[in-house]
Structure 1
């Protein structure tokens, strides 16, 4: 492997650091691992709202490369379809069709761009005050554990009914991935997720829960039906789309910053300062704008891929960029897209048990490493409120605008941290 020169900020615990470039064969396999990890969620969003999944795959790849470019190739992240907008997009599709969804996606992306320009002008020093470890740690725990029910549903449910075969495949996938992660050495130790998915898939084929007919029927080359703005449609304003989706961008920004916090911890960097929060928000927003113009849903950074980074200790931006290139290529190759799409939910669920747990564990590490003092009542209160609201699934619904549990927990955590005294009267 070709390693970059050592720098003062280099993370020597990583097997491959951010600027390290693997050999071609290793790069190929590591990138495919990230592709498999994000594929299920990225194509599920368009399926839920009635958009061509190949377009979502294409826009996620282009969006990720755009993000890497905007952040000067300093942040290893993958951007896939965002679930935060699903409910609103479903309503818009029924009322006005995809042109309305496209305008909503573009408007949400532009909110990111505007906020990034404001931060570029006035700075982001407020981040350390607003988001100290006692707030950041629990938020990251919530990001991981709030996905636990999704992992469990994927692992056990077949058409909303408990299926023992599904659960057996999920547990096998989980256990074999853990074994690969703990006992493999050399290059195979970097791809335990990919190996786990392959083994889980083979078992799923043997027990008959994989639809191979869709793979056989798929064409080798298939051009995605791009719904290009201003080309496929006569321009028309959809105020309901803009009003419905633009405010949700402020919600997804909190999740965006949560993911940056996790990446800060994993890579031993401070991405809020270098390349800067304004660049990360600008890249994320521009990705959604591009997605809206080609016919895809808004995008966001993916916790699943962050989980892979945590498990494998491979933080190379080359690997994430490779996954984005494969996503673009595979969006035109029908059989490969169908093969990846045929990976059954229990395989994804088994992997998710581990990946989502890795995210939550990094939240615990932040609390431990920063010696957060739980003898102080304020710290107990802040952590308790964040965990219960976030994991409990509480949300705020105002018309089409929804404040998700993660966002609501973040808002409460920030407010409590700013207003509660450092010590209660009984502690002085």
Structure 2
């Protein structure tokens, strides 16, 4: 795998990591990323009682911070993390955002401490802990673990099944696939954006889009920033918040590693070595700390944006920067932010079928490209366990602390890879038996 420098260019890329898009298409390419991550970004604050505009702004700022810390070498988008919803809801009801802020800072500090350790120890251990037989299934799980969310968006109108919703989702899906296959050049590159627009137009025609919030929202609306030491002074240390948030950082860290693996595979690079795992962890942690001082939720890397890159083969870090700038600006433009929030669930669901599916297919590609032999029992056991735990979301729950299925699958896969012998004992017995038969046959012939 090549290092991430400008002497190497991925031959499969339409735009490689360090390449800038032409001005005529830059905005459209960046808007695709914005629309893809927008729903999940604003959903987290809506669920916990925060201002979605702050989450949008902090995601843009956090993404730019991550890109700068990683020396513009990793096209990763950072946005609201779902892993902290349970403790955030509890803290918002009891101590308010001050507790959430301290917990979010604790998350960032955990990332920074781990990044320092990795900086001293190095990342050579990653190749031993994460060979293709572990990485491939984990990447498949990352895509499949959110398949249920895509399906719910596509089918469910509130608490009941809606055939119209499903029809819109399927229309969006097939339109996106057809446009991606038929169109060429620039139009093929924005097939996802065109699919979203087409699905949205159909949703409007069918009357499932509500514009009331767009009409009532002013053009300019300052996000309700909750800035520490400016809007409020911390009265005490909320140890409960810190202790409930900090362990979950290792969950999002495992997911972050998985996303970097996918980006490695897509771009043909090794981001664990260049710019280094310590850099990408430091970028993630710093982004969360900044979000805490602005009034936003913890952030993490987003699979939706990786899915966009997997489809259009545009890995340009400048396209991601454009999406981050749009996100930060849209946090202040009330009507535009409200308009994007009107994109209905079935449109998001239809697009998600493509994006999440392509991520999982990247995992299959890792297994195929590395010629992983599933006749070997060791490989079969590792892959099987990772897939079922991850896709089934067999999470670990201890009090308010929850370790997601993706995190559990990652840890279990790494452990199995380290402890299982390279060849099963039964295979040795079979080999010994075959050798014994050959010896006996040779003696008989003699």
Deviation at 1:217, TM superposition (A): 1.2
Cα distance in 1 for residues equivalent to 2:128 and 2:210: 51
Q: State the Cα deviation string for residues 1-42 of structure 1 (Å, max 9, x = none).
A: xxxxx9442102100011111111211110011101100000
For residues 54-73 of structure 1, the aligned pairs below 5 Å read: 54-73=53-72
Q: State the Cα deviation string for residues 205-229 of structure 1 (Å, max 9, x = none).
A: 0000001111111110000010001
| 2:212 match | 213
Cα distance in 2 for residues equivalent to 1:373 and 1:91: 47
| 1:53 match | 52
Q: Does the 8 A contact of 2:6 with 2:18 survive in 1? A: no
Deviation at 1:427, TM superposition (A): 1.0
Q: State the Cα deviation string for residues 111-159 of structure 1 (Å, max 9, x = none).
A: 0011001111111110000111100000000000011000000000011
Cα distance in 2 for residues equivalent to 1:197 and 1:57: 19
Cα distance in 1 for residues equivalent to 2:107 and 2:185: 43
Cα distance in 2 for residues equivalent to 1:19 and 1:331: 27
Cα distance in 1 for residues equivalent to 2:140 and 2:18: 28
What secondary structure sits across from 1:19 in the alignment? coil
What secondary structure sits across from 1:246 in the alignment? helix
Q: Does the 8 A contact of 1:9 with 1:269 survive in 2? A: no
Cα distance in 2 for residues equivalent to 1:8 and 1:318: 18
Q: TM-score by structure 1 length?
A: 0.98
| 2:255 match | 255
Cα distance in 1 for residues equivalent to 2:103 and 2:298: 9
Cα distance in 2 for residues equivalent to 1:103 and 1:7: 40
| 2:324 match | 324
Q: Which moved more, 1:198-207 or 1:227-236?
A: 227-236
| 2:15 match | 16
| 2:433 match | none
| 2:443 match | none
Q: State the Cα deviation string for residues 23-71 of structure 1 (Å, max 9, x = none).
A: 1121111001110110000000000000000000000000000000000
| 1:232 match | 231
1:143 and 2:142 aligned: yes
| 1:197 match | 196
Cα distance in 2 for residues equivalent to 1:217 and 1:15: 41
| 2:185 match | 186
| 1:89 match | 88
| 2:39 match | 40
| 1:275 match | 275
Q: Which moved more, 1:291-300 or 1:18-27?
A: 18-27
Deviation at 1:95, TM superposition (A): 1.5
Q: State the Cα deviation string for residues 284-308 of structure 1 (Å, max 9, x = none).
A: 0100000011000000111000000
Q: Which moved more, 1:262-271 or 1:395-404?
A: 395-404
Deviation at 1:244, TM superposition (A): 0.1
| 2:170 match | 171
Cα distance in 2 for residues equivalent to 1:186 and 1:131: 36
| 1:300 match | 300
Q: Does the 8 A contact of 2:389 with 2:408 survive in 1? A: yes
Cα distance in 1 for residues equivalent to 2:35 and 2:95: 33
Cα distance in 1 for residues equivalent to 2:275 and 2:342: 38
Cα distance in 1 for residues equivalent to 2:43 and 2:30: 20
What secondary structure sits across from 2:82 in the alignment? coil
Cα distance in 2 for residues equivalent to 1:260 and 1:293: 26
Cα distance in 2 for residues equivalent to 1:249 and 1:25: 40
Larger Rg: 2
Coordinate RMSD, CA, aligned: 0.9
| 1:117 match | 116
Cα distance in 2 for residues equivalent to 1:123 and 1:401: 29
Deviation at 1:421, TM superposition (A): 0.2
For residues 280-291 of structure 1, the aligned pairs below 5 Å read: 280-291=280-291
Total equivalences in the alignment: 423
Q: After TM superposition, where is structure 1 displaced by more than 3 Å over at least 4 residues in a row?
A: none
Cα distance in 2 for residues equivalent to 1:29 and 1:98: 35
Q: Does the 8 A contact of 1:59 with 1:290 survive in 2? A: yes
Cα distance in 2 for residues equivalent to 1:106 and 1:10: 37
| 1:30 match | 29
Deviation at 1:400, TM superposition (A): 1.8
**Runs (5+) with no aligned partner, structure 1:** 1-5
Cα distance in 1 for residues equivalent to 2:339 and 2:281: 33
